[in-house]
Each structure stands twice: as C-alpha cells, then as structure tokens.
Amino acid sequence: MPPKLLAIDHIHVFVANRAESERWYERVLGLRRTPELEFWANDGGPLTLQDESAQIHIALFERPAKPCRSTIALRVHGSLFRQWQSHLEHELPGAVTVEDHEASVSLYFADPDGNPYEITTYEVSLSR
C-alpha cells in the first residue's frame, strides 16, 4: 500500500501570456502571486499563484496553447455557491454553465487559454 498523501500541492496550468493570465486569475478567482516563490518565474519557470489562505496553488507556465483534456475542480461550501455563480457571471458573461449532478451542483467555465474549470459543492440544498 502506498504512503498517505497530504494534499494536492499545486496544479500546472499552461497559458499563452502569463502577465495577462495573472490578472485574469486574480480578478476571477482571487489568486495572487506567492511572494516566496516568485523567483521560480525567472527563465521560464512557474509563476505560482495562491488563494488568501494559501490552500490552493496554481503554477502558471507560459507555453504555446494546446488542447486541454483535464478540468480543474474547486470545491466551495453550499452557502457560497450562489455568490460564486453571481461573481463568475459578472466577470465572464455568457461563459458560465450550471450543471445539477444530483449529489453535487457545479459551475463550469474556462480561462482565456481554454483551460477548463469547475466550481462545485456537495451541499446541494444550501446552493439553491
């Protein structure tokens, strides 16, 4: 049996223009640079962004666009789901879809490079 994993550390996201993407991730998802890891962004390394509590980390790599088959799913409390829906529909008009999966409900959208995202909650009764 493998040893226990602690958490997902970060996710690599490939973007065409890292500076523009950094602004998008801050505006839409509230992710900001991780100051102690900024040095990695030199010479083609990742620009690491994080949420306010430093629990979610995304590493932006500037690379030519390629088709993406993975979706990055982020979980929220049911009580915040509608706030996220309102925020995303304001920031990304016409680009957000809602799916009721019975056991969960999700918002789907993509970043400017086509990387797909999902914001989901399993607290379905609180999300309505």
Cβ neighbours of 117 (radius 10 Å)? 19
DSSP class of 127: H
pLDDT in tens, the chain (128 residues): 877 878 889 999 999 999 999 999 999 999 999 999 999 999 889 999 999 999 999 999 998 877 877 899 999 999 999 999 999 999 999 999 999 998 899 999 999 999 999 999 999 898 87
Beta strands in the chain (DSSP E): 11-15, 32-33, 47-50, 57-62, 72-75, 97-100, 105-110, 116-121
pTM of the full structure: 0.86
CB 48 within 8 A of CB 58: yes
Length of the chain as a residue count? 128
